Structure 1
Amino acid sequence: MDSLSYTSVASSMVILTLQPLFVMIGSFFIFKERVNKLMVLCMITAVFGSIIIAWGDIGVSREALIGDTLSLLGTISISVYMLVGQKVSHKIPANIYSIIAFFIGGSVMLIYSLMNHFSLTDYSSSDWMYFLLLALIPTIFGHFIFNLLLKSIGATTVSVGVIGEPVLAIILAYFILGEAVSSFQILGGLFTIAGMGFYFWAKTK
């Protein structure tokens, strides 16, 4: 969260797309999961596509370096979260794991807000609506599905699916917000979709 105070959303997004690589490495050492060269190539292609999408907005400065470091720590944290989720998925149901994770996350956010003297109530009705949507759609609905899939397809495959988020965001921004789509975004989106598609295909072989 603090990373966006120092670096651009684009830079943060590029670092976040490294998550599947971290998860793949972790899965290799923890779960002894094997991946073939084609799967690795497909994953790199998808990550490369995300880098192309954000390339035009990436900034280089001392502040950006601080933000990028924070983004990297966040990416490592979510990678660990995925790996832990896969580890415990065979012991506790996904809904229980999700409740525990959401409770811990909410508690940390509450402590963080209190420490930084952020208001907990002084927001407009539209802000509360956005808070509710963020809680329902990406958190309860989105992350619960991720946690549910960890048992059946594994953390690495789930993480590869996350790479598609920037592409979906571009499409939604175009239709809902009327934002223009650059040639970099189109090219990067094609790389990302192709990499993801071939990865899922290679996974079934």
Structure 2
Amino acid sequence: MILVVFAVANISTASILVRLAGVQGFVAASWRLILSSTLTLLLLLASKEWVRVDLTLRDLALMTISGIALALHFGLWMMSLFHLTVAASVTIVDSYPAILALIGHYIIGEEYNKWQLAGAGAAMIGVGGLALSSSHGGLAPPGGNPLIGSLLSSSGMVAVAVYFSIGKTMRAKHGTLTYTGIVYTIAAVSSTIITYMLGYKLTGYRLETYMYLAGLALFPMLGGHTIINYVLEKLSLLAATVPVLGEPIGATILAWIILGEPVTGEEALWMALTLTGISLVLLKEEG
């Protein structure tokens, strides 16, 4: 549980780092994935886990789908950050527990008690309310289109649900470094291809920009997503991923402090409901 809290705190920095970097979504996603996949592969090669890697064609196929989904999740969501407030963008992209609950129950075969389902539902309501209240503030970035931003963020939400679902299945068979090393690499290649297909490049930016992009790889990726992939083996799909709904709260607070996007009293209430829901899911997982 301590690891989950640490991971969510790191993931909460992602939207701020993307805004500060100021580059196109898939450019930011590509550098985040290139750097994190390189570090993860080096750790894998240096570990004893490498000699135990045993992949089937089915495993590789699923990891490829997971990697492509991760690339789409990052790229589409990061694009939405320039059309919506941080609070609205992050809350929409994190509204996937309902999909994961269905996948976890009907496909993976997990059982959830009524308190966990109620907690996930409460967290979802809190996230939805936070997104709506944030969008009413009219604080979207200059030139942003809220409709396009909502579509981009929603598409990123579907993609991350696919990524986490496959991760739950694969982590039961493969170590954290094996799974993340392969998936992050596939995601990096996919994101880079999409970046150039869209007519953008990965070079020619200021040193400050690259520092923010390196921060994306170190904190929300290695210190966030990799830890979530680790705990997927220890917790149910719902318990391991619902806490990520705490990201909108951390990101909203950071956006208020660093980017000057204020938090209203209404938003604070929705945040409290989200945290209550997350607490229910985690507490009942232990029980």
TM superposition score normalised by structure 2: 0.64
Q: CA deviation at 1:137?
A: 0.8
Q: Is the 8 A contact 2:92 2:131 kept in 1?
A: no
Higher mean Cα deviation, 31-40 or 174-183? 174-183
Paired letter, 2:128: I
Per-residue CA deviation, residues 110-129 of structure 1 (Å, 9 max, x unaligned), is 10111122122110111000
What residue number does 2:209 align with?
127
Q: CA deviation at 1:28?
A: 0.6
What residue number does 2:199 align with?
117
Partner SS state of residue 153, structure 1? coil
What residue number does 1:8 align with?
84
Partner SS state of residue 180, structure 1? coil
Q: Is the 8 A contact 2:95 2:127 kept in 1?
A: no
2:264 to 167, 182, 193: 182
Structure 1 alignment gaps of length 5 or more: none
Aligned Cα root-mean-square deviation (Å): 2.3
The percentage of counterpart residues that share the same residue type is 28
Partner SS state of residue 99, structure 1? helix
Q: CA deviation at 1:67?
A: 4.3
Q: How far, CA to CA, are the matches of 2:207 and 2:100 in structure 1? A: 39
Q: How far, CA to CA, are the matches of 1:190 and 1:158 in structure 2? A: 20
Compared with structure 1, are the counterparts of its residues 138 and 26 closer, same or farther at alpha carbon in structure 2 (3 Å cutoff)? Answer: same
What residue number does 2:186 align with?
104
Compared with structure 1, are the counterparts of its residues 8 and 175 closer, same or farther at alpha carbon in structure 2 (3 Å cutoff)? Answer: closer
Q: Is the 8 A contact 1:6 1:64 kept in 2?
A: no
1:6-155 matches, cutoff 5 A: 8-9=84-85, 10-58=87-135, 64-155=146-237
Higher mean Cα deviation, 87-96 or 123-132? 87-96
Q: CA deviation at 1:171?
A: 2.9
Partner SS state of residue 91, structure 1? coil
Higher mean Cα deviation, 184-193 or 5-14? 5-14
Q: CA deviation at 1:8?
A: 2.4
Compared with structure 1, are the counterparts of its residues 176 and 67 closer, same or farther at alpha carbon in structure 2 (3 Å cutoff)? Answer: closer
1:158 to 220, 231, 240: 240
Partner SS state of residue 222, structure 2? helix
Compared with structure 1, are the counterparts of its residues 113 and 17 closer, same or farther at alpha carbon in structure 2 (3 Å cutoff)? Answer: closer
Q: How far, CA to CA, are the matches of 1:67 and 1:174 in structure 2? A: 20
Q: How far, CA to CA, are the matches of 1:80 and 1:109 in structure 2? A: 16
Compared with structure 1, are the counterparts of its residues 5 and 202 closer, same or farther at alpha carbon in structure 2 (3 Å cutoff)? Answer: closer
Q: Is the 8 A contact 2:255 2:261 kept in 1?
A: yes
Partner SS state of residue 186, structure 1? helix
Per-residue CA deviation, residues 80-104 of structure 1 (Å, 9 max, x unaligned), is 1111111111211111111111111
Paired letter, 1:43: A
Structure 2 alignment gaps of length 5 or more: 1-74, 137-144
Partner SS state of residue 57, structure 1? helix
Q: CA deviation at 1:106?
A: 0.8
Q: How far, CA to CA, are the matches of 1:79 and 1:193 in structure 2? A: 20
Q: How far, CA to CA, are the matches of 1:102 and 1:110 in structure 2? A: 12
Q: Is the 8 A contact 2:133 2:267 kept in 1?
A: no
Q: How far, CA to CA, are the matches of 1:171 and 1:71 in structure 2? A: 19
Q: How far, CA to CA, are the matches of 1:35 and 1:158 in structure 2? A: 13
Q: How far, CA to CA, are the matches of 1:132 and 1:13 in structure 2? A: 20
